Amino acid sequence: MKKSFVIAMMIFITGQSFAQNGKSKSEKMNTTEHYTFKLSDKVTRQKVSFKNRYGITLSGDLYIPKNQGNETLAALAISGPFGAVKEQSSGLYANQMAERGFIAIAFDPSFTGESGGEYRNLASSDINTEDFSAAVDFLGIQKNVDRNKIGIIGICGFGGFALNATAVDKRVKAVATTSMYDIPRAASKGYYDKVTLEERTKTLEQMSQQRWKDAEAGTPASGNRSNAEKLKGNEPQFVKDYFDYYRTPRGFHQRSINSNGSWTATSAFSLMNMPILTYIKEISPRPVLIIAGEKAHSRYFSEDIYKAAAEPKELMIIPKAVHVDLYDRVEIIPFDKLETFFKEHLK
């Protein structure tokens, strides 16, 4: 079971396995402007775009409290999960936080969703970290935002990138993560660091050879589906949980890699060679809030980062919650805690 767990983890992160390849043939659960949650009647949402330091244009949705008035407000940059789009969890979080008085932007990372970048469906330790700082750039030049009161929320894999961005970007005053993944660590070492050097080397050899094929074709090949069309029934529970979110009307979105596609076959190439969170202690003296589900398969990522981070820091474990519960279960996600955390530290 543990071996299958490791393999399932590697499928989700790297796309390197024997799962089926390619994109979904047809889906009927979405429209172009489909959101997986309802917009609050206390909030307005508007499409925005901005460029990161590499010149890639990012697409975002800006959520603004309707009762803002003329005052400048604290703001939050939000992204994740890894392989998701802004119409899913990050938008839900932005909507909830705007209800609580923050201006919030949910954005699609580079190479995914409606954001720019060629080729598509790529991930990068550096660029995905930069995407958060680019969102901070954008927020800080808005007339209704107090640029001295900007925080970050990272969900799932973008929890790791959020922490990495906060460590280097001293404009960020506070950071929170939910169901945090360290994507480069998972890509390189697998679940609980169980991947052996031999297995890692084999994966890198496969991706290295794939680069020849991509060069000859002039375009990168797709990897294996992030979530299969159908479950066989013998998958680890966390794979079933992902399926229940991404592949059903609960959380499906046409542009989400995890709902409807795959990363490129070589997407993990740089992730596996470029770890993040080396400078996690340098977030201090700014505060860190780390939130994880008690039953989450990913819980150890949050616990390890909590141990590694310097004060002030807080680890909040949500009783009985699994990883994906913190994607969209508004009755479980501790939004009141997020509100008090950011109101206390963005002042």
Q: What angle do CA 336, 76, 83 make, to 5 degrees?
A: 95
Rounded percentage of the chain residues whose pLDDT exceeds 70? 91
> Is it the case that residue 8 has pLDDT exceeding 70?
no
> Residue 37 burial (CB < 10 Å; 0-12/13-18/19+)?
middle
Report the alpha-carbon distance of residue 346 to residue 173 in Å, rounded.
6
> Is it the case that residue 178 has pLDDT exceeding 90?
yes
3-state secondary structure of 74: strand
Q: Which of 108, 99, 22, 96 is nearest to 61 (CA)?
A: 108
Q: Which of 165, 163, 159 is nearest to 180 (CA)?
A: 159
- Mean pLDDT of the residues in the chain: 92
Kind plus residue range of the DSSP H or E element containing 211: helix 197-217
pLDDT reported for residue 31: 45
> Is it the case that residue 15 has pLDDT exceeding 90?
no
**pLDDT digit string, tens, across residues 313-341:** 999 999 999 999 999 999 999 999 999 99
Kind plus residue range of the DSSP H or E element containing 315: strand 313-318
> Is it the case that residue 43 has pLDDT exceeding 90?
yes
Report the alpha-carbon distance of residue 62 to residue 139 in Å, rounded.
9
What type of residue is 201?
T
Q: Which of 76, 62, 115 is nearest to 124 (CA)?
A: 115
Averaged pLDDT, 210-237:
94
135 with 58: CB under 8 angstroms?
Answer: yes
> Is it the case that residue 32 has pLDDT exceeding 90?
no
Q: What b/e sequence results for 321-336 when a residue is b if at least 16 CB atoms lie within 10 Å of its CB, and e otherwise?
A: bbbbbbbbeeebbbbe
pLDDT reported for residue 67: 85
- For 170, list phi and psi in degrees, rounded to 5: -75, -5
Q: Residue 1: which pLDDT band, with cuts at 50, 70 and 90?
A: very low
Q: Tell me what percent of the chain is helix, strand and coil, each rounded to the nearest 5.
A: 35, 20, 45
Averaged pLDDT, 103-115:
98
pLDDT reported for residue 22: 43
pLDDT reported for residue 143: 96
**pLDDT digit string, tens, across residues 259-273:** 999 999 999 999 999
> Is it the case that residue 27 has pLDDT exceeding 70?
no
> Is it the case that residue 28 has pLDDT exceeding 80?
no
pLDDT reported for residue 19: 35
300 with 259: CB under 8 angstroms?
Answer: no
Q: What angle do CA 128, 255, 166 make, to 5 degrees?
A: 20
